[in-house]
Structure 1
Amino acid sequence: MSGSVDIERLDRAVARLESVASTLGCEFPPAEPLQLEQLDRVEAAIAPLRLPSDIAHFYRTWSITKAGTLFLPHLCDLGFALDSWDEHRATEWPSAVLFPIAYMSHWMHFVELDHPDSPGPWIYDGAYAGGLFTLAHSCLAAWLEWIADEVEAGRVEEVWEGRWQLTREQTDDDERTERLRADDVPDDAIPPFDDSDRRQWPLRWNLADGFDPADYELRGPTHTLASFVEALRAGPASATIHVGLIRQMGHSAELADETGCLAVTLERQDSPFGTGRIWEVEISGDHQPDLQLLPYPEPEEPPQFDISRQDDPDYLAEYAAGAARRMAVRSDPVATVT
């Protein structure tokens, strides 16, 4: 790892945050045996990757059970974090070098694990619902320092009895950039990037995952979706097609080009489609004499998630059902993308 880790800075940040926020329910008692056992399991499971030394020191020294609700997203226990990381490996999103340390609904903070090309214990902001990866903080100490700054500035509110929350979810881009630059983060690492587009991911993430971004370069199609469907009507066919992703649920997806839409099976669930981008895919299917293209779906904008209702199970179920409806593929898959 090329980036340095300042354990003393983290110790000072924890002490300062506890000093300014203990009356708001943010405390850091000594780590409990269960947390230490979870830490050992995490370190064994992620090897040869490693937790950055500041993250390991934090969990080995302090308990997060009384960290309170000032952390947005909330710090998650290591058992949940490891389960999430394992699930992410099954879907191959995000990169294996990103380990979740905080979670709330679809929203997560990931720390970049220690590996040969790691720039440091950077903390990224991301979400299951898709969108952007944003480098939020240069390290855990920087995140704690920012929370303490917000508390001292009075930017907190009591959202439920005894539960305090920052009035800003995160710093704006100018302030975030200033903080990152102060910690010597290079400018080219600061802009957000599309979390669904592997071509925008740092090269070190792709290489750690065994992906070569050159594999995703456009080289030239042999068919449109319409001509591929026409070929399938005559017999089994394979093609190279330039398409965009319309919808995806697991391994089922709906692809589109200028000629129409087609439901397919993704051999790899992580097929690196980026919203609004064109990808070159290898596609094949069996003889289907009556196959027709699907029409373009009517666009449906997702509603803004109401964070004040995050503990309402009926609201969460309704929101999840709406997300599933918007992403549902409209027919059984008729071809396979390899």
Structure 2
Amino acid sequence: MKKLLVTGGAGFIGANFVHYWLSKYPEDNVVVLDALTYAGNLENLAVVQNNENFSFVKGDICDQALVETLLIDHQVDTLVHFAAESHVDRSITGPDAFIETNILGTYSLLKAAKKCWLDDRDKPFEHRFHHVSTDEVYGTLSASDPAFTEDTAYAPNSPYSASKAASDHLVRAYHHTYGLNVTTSNCSNNYGPYHFPEKLIPLVITNILHNKSLPIYGDGMQIRDWLYVEDHAYGIDLVLNKGRIGENYNIGGNNEWANINIVKEVCALVETRFAESSELATRFPEALAAIEANTESLITYVTDRLGHDRRYAIDATKTRVELGYEPKETFETGIAKTVSWYLDNEAWWKAVMDGSYQDWVEGQYS
């Protein structure tokens, strides 16, 4: 039986991991630590809040004393670190928060883990510090370049990816210098339920439902590998249970798509749903383009993002060969599930978008 501390577990990927883990390993104990900033949402964890093996703590990963208390009081042996500022646009306009959370926050966690798992023990303690990172640390690829492997040199191009690269290096250093048992996974673009609406896929879905423009950076031909979020959780599961200490593992979806084609695919899926169900037109009367099957008319090209990486692609051969990893969802099946989830969970994304959820959080924890 494992006892996990999951940082950032109220965020998009972290919450999906918690759902996955408690479903697959119901005997394990899971403690979530989350600061509940704008992207953290307790509603993401509603399905597990009554589970006796789950507990939630509101707090900052930079609070080393709090982390040490949680590691000791809950006898944690596995720390899965999702907590991060992750939106590239926000990192361009306000990089300070990314340095604070992604670098100093990871450093704080490493110090707490070292103290509780190594320094304060008379005998070896079986433990794991798993760090969740991104393919963006590798930089950008041309259309003909081979996909990123675990041996690709780091070349981050945004404040976000630079902060994640720095945190990756700290995790590596704590293993090689102090002997902390660590693993790191670098994932491609995640999508799926509970994805914060500022990101591409949920933004397109919710904008269609409000009949708003669908902004496309530059020519829309930036290519990304897309990974259904539950497949990401599955990949981390394999790393935790089969991965070699001190190693990095790439987790990808085997799904390279240009942004403009992603948008058109989502448009087509939403139109299909509206055609199949007249009830949707009643629930979403503003979605005129969807009702009229003309959603691509909402596409608007805007000035490209500063330093926009052209292509990311993950080569997950190492993870497949060593751990047996294969994504279970194709993009077609995963995106269909995602569109359905947003159509079925209007209350969730409306609360996130209109700020009522954050107002509630501030009232609960003020």
Question: Shorter-chain TM-score: what band?
Answer: under 0.3
Q: Which has the higher contact order (CA 8 A, sep 6+)?
A: 2
* TM-score, length-scaled by structure 1: 0.24
Q: Rg larger in 1 or in 2?
A: 1
Greater share of residues in helix: 2
